Structure 1
Amino acid sequence: MPSIKKVAVIGTGVIGAGWIIRCLAHNKIVYAFDKDPKLKNSLIKEIKRTWPFVKKLFKKNKLNLKNFYYFTSLEKTIKDADFIQECATENYALKTKLMSRIGNYAKTNAIISSSSSGLLPTRIYSKCKNPQRSLIGHPFNPVYLLPAVEIVPGKKTSTRYLNQAKNFYKSISMNPIMVKKELPGYLSDRLQEALWREGLHIINEGYATTEDLDRAIEDGPGLRWSLMGTFLTFHLAGGKAGMKHMLEQFGPALKLPWTKLKAPKLTKNLSSRIISGTKNQSKGKSVSMISNIRDEYLVELQMMRKKYEKKLR
């Protein structure tokens, strides 16, 4: 299959908009779909807000909106697309019905990818025509800046289409993570969910505030995680003998009651603590203002990280 040039993005929320921006930055022709025509102006506004960060990260000179098309008809959106990225609400019934429609309208060899954060592809595509070309392409927010994408196959997905999807994501400067087989929550979200549940317990039992927990990550392991993950970090913690010594020394701690992976009940009191805590952390700044600060940081961080990535990867 020749290089993928025409991309359809189904849904223009936060994730869908991120895909659209990233694809436009890599000279793809983008067909965007949403039922509400009024959302087009909001989408263009978001494209323009993010462009200074995208331009700097990918070293692009100008934004070409001539490659951008907005439709309120699903059939018109996908009929000529080589690659379809679905970004609808995380709901099995909704996605299964939507994928059935997409499969009927799409070209027979068009790859269909869902941005789902944890649903099983075999179930999502159970009523989709030619399910061998269907898969999960789970990105991370902000999609227009972060390079990771988890590619998850369904039971009927063919290796041929997995490789084509991998090459496509690489063509838009992403680092695909090939998940061996489907599992709920995939990889990163399962790890994030464990951290999230632990945090809820700590706040619920009054040991810390949301800001305390964020600082514990931001000023500690978070700084290491931007270059190396948990396993390589723990390998270094073992000294000269590496992970072998680390497991011998700290392995017994796995039996200690340090974690509570079962989530606490999200009561009104716990919700109130989390909401008020994050409001205090925002210090009066809007979500848009904080997003701009985050985006500027992520661009600078990734540009700096490339120097060190080459020495490790």
Structure 2
Amino acid sequence: MDGCGAVPQVLLSGQEKYALLCTDSVMVANGQGNPMRQIALLRRNAFTIAAPIDSDVRTVADLKGGSLGITEGSGGEIGLVQIALENAGLDPRIKGNEDVDIKVVGAGGPGAYNALQSGDIDAYAAALNDLAVMQPLGLESRSIIPEELQQLPSSGLTLMEDTLADERDREVTIKLARGWVKGNEFAVEHPQEALAIVCERAPEQCKDMDVARAYMKSVLQTIATVDGLEPGEQAPIEGYETVEDALLASGDLESEVDLETIFTNDYLREIDAGG
């Protein structure tokens, strides 16, 4: 399912028990009284805001009076957009923004590429892989988000609190997290072999190898372990506080949530125990 904003409903409805869910969506769900827990952080810095390399837009503040493209209203990049706008002193709202014209231009591809090249949008907020697939089209871009926003927690393995309380479901969750973490480690250490496995299992994704390699490179950037942290370990609490502050400023979160309980490291040893 596309769009982090839509994924929580899959957990809330009971349609699925486990999901890769964006940090901001987990906070909002908990703020609405839906106790979700994220037991392993699997992606960092997965989203960015980029402008053409020859553009005069060099910072988020430069977007005032201009336009910003997004993939969709519930896209995973929305949290970062709100944080970046709020930190730049701009209106952090996605709808009815008084400082920046925010336009839905779709996922990375010809549509988003043409919107950037034509000047219909001044910058584009999306996942790194959305930008990667536009590189073979000729896109040259640079990130305009400040350094302090470049290692924010992006998404992790998430489930409802009552699912985690069930012993059998918890065991499955641990195994899922362990497999994901080990897969990430293998891909970082053996990128060519990992890409070959992907192409063997999903050949439709590798019809254009330039796109596949660019996509793989972008994925590796998001799953690499940060120095000082164990694979799957949650980011320092300051990163979650940054996300929370932006959600409070935008009105998507009415009050603070218990970040240390929601984004827990309590199961890290069990996840790593599989060797």
TM-score if structure 2 supplies the norm length?
A: 0.32
More helix by share: 1
